[in-house]
Amino acid sequence: MSIDPRRLVGIKAERVTDVSSRDFPGYYPDEDNSWNLDAFKENLTVKIYRVSNRSIDFDLVGVDASIANAFRRIMIAEVPTVTIESVYVYNNTSVVVDEVLSQRIGLIPLNVDPAMMEMRVGDEATDRNTLVFTLTLGCTRRKDAPKDSTDPAQLYENHELLSRHLLWEPAGEQEAVFAAKPPGPLNPDIVLAKLRPGQQIEMTLHAIKGVGKDHAKFSPVATASYRLLPHINIKKTIPPHLAEKFQNCFSPGVIRVDPRTKAVSVDEQGVRNDTVSREVLRHPEFEGSVELGRVRDHFLFNIESESAYPPQRLLLEAISVMRDKIANIKRAAEALLDRPADEDVTMG
């Protein structure tokens, strides 16, 4: 598979070259590089490689870095989720102090689909914008504990405050709305605090909808990032005695060595797994024999969802957030055109 060298980012030993795309009008003489929807449509591919419960790997090909990055940024910062925001502590005699425990509780991902809730505007909590949980736990000594045991699990009842102890208190229409999937933590085993006999925790928690740019707890993803497709161009034949060494300079499965002839070649499928460690550029014997690069418009996305969204929905959510933003800008731009010049324009 040969790739147009214009699409490549150069990976040199000590620097990266050609990081920006140049397919805009006027860069190359006598070429019309103006944006063309049909061409874009033809080039654009989205291919999913792997989906699991929590993560997804997909390729996004044929867009500019700014678009791919916009999706990444939106997924981190602007796709809303529902998370606990207010903690009302009635009693907390554990060693973890109120502020710290509250912060920890805030970071618990909830299984609530944000689409089912409204953003809270102002301070007013309603059954449409706020979920109420209670967290009540007291640690006690176990009567039946073995005498010489030192394991807290054997000695005490409720020696750990876990996310599973969150209890949803339905209000108003919530009972019906959330009947299918009662709100709760995504992972029931997150340790929030350790308790010892006599320690009590009693608190009420309010969860609201928010976005990651306010606080990282609202971010729906653990990682949302991309890397560029690696590209390896072997320019000179590698001597057979160095074949194995050459192979080891790359991630496993990237370079194939013919068992008989010891000829090396790049595995077209495996090359995407290369970590581009640039190890091959370090060895003088391979100098000039290989050229490393990455495909500038081929983004290998990896997204781990840490929210109610299934991983495959995150990109779609990001796109819809982006469309809303574009619509907003469009409205504002149109408002600019419509209004007389001396009047103030309000956005939004």
Alpha carbon 254 to chain centroid distance? Answer: 26
State the nearest-atom distance from the C-beta of 50 to other proteins, in Å: 15
Give the residue, chosen from 31, 98, 175, 334, that forms a contact with other proteins under the rule CB under 8 A.
98
Helix (H, G, I), strand (E, B) or coil at 247: helix
Residue 73 within binding range of other proteins, rule CB under 8 A:
yes
**Diameter over CA atoms, the chain:** 88
CA dist 148 and 345 (Å) reads 76
User: Do residues 87 and 197 make contact, with C-beta atoms less than 8 angstroms apart?
Assistant: no
Closest CA to 306 of 190, 193, 191, 226: 190
**Contact region for other proteins (CB under 8 A) — 9-17, 45-53, 170-178, 261-269?**
9-17
The residue written with tokens 């989205």 in the block is 46
Beta-carbon count within 10 A of 262 CB: 16
Alpha carbon 121 to chain centroid distance? Answer: 26
Residue 95 within binding range of other proteins, rule CB under 8 A:
yes
Of 77 and 131, nearer to other proteins (C-beta) is 77
User: Do residues 58 and 315 make contact, with C-beta atoms less than 8 angstroms apart?
Assistant: yes
Residue 140 within binding range of other proteins, rule CB under 8 A:
no
Q: Interaction with other proteins in 283-342: which residues (CB under 8 A)?
A: 294, 302
Give the residue, chosen from 149, 265, 275, 320, that forms a contact with other proteins under the rule CB under 8 A.
275
**Contact region for other proteins (CB under 8 A) — 22-30, 34-42, 97-105, 197-205?**
97-105
State the nearest-atom distance from the C-beta of 113 to other proteins, in Å: 23
Of 20 and 269, nearer to other proteins (C-beta) is 20
Beta-carbon count within 10 A of 263 CB: 13
Q: Interaction with other proteins in 196-235: which residues (CB under 8 A)?
A: 212-213, 215-217, 219, 223-228
Residue 19 within binding range of other proteins, rule CB under 8 A:
yes
- Which residues on neighbouring strands pair with residue 147, listed in sequence order? none
State the nearest-atom distance from the C-beta of 8 to other proteins, in Å: 11
State the nearest-atom distance from the C-beta of 316 to other proteins, in Å: 19
Residue 265 within binding range of other proteins, rule CB under 8 A:
no
CA dist 201 and 31 (Å) reads 70
Give the residue, chosen from 8, 11, 135, 308, that forms a contact with other proteins under the rule CB under 8 A.
11
Of 72 and 313, nearer to other proteins (C-beta) is 72
Start-end of H helices in 181-276: 243-248
Type of residue found at 274: D
Helix (H, G, I), strand (E, B) or coil at 252: coil
Note the residues at the interface with other proteins (CB under 8 A). Answer: 9, 11, 14-17, 19-20, 65-66, 68-70, 72-73, 76-77, 89, 91-92, 95, 97-100, 103, 107, 212-213, 215-217, 219, 223-228, 251, 275-279, 282, 294, 302
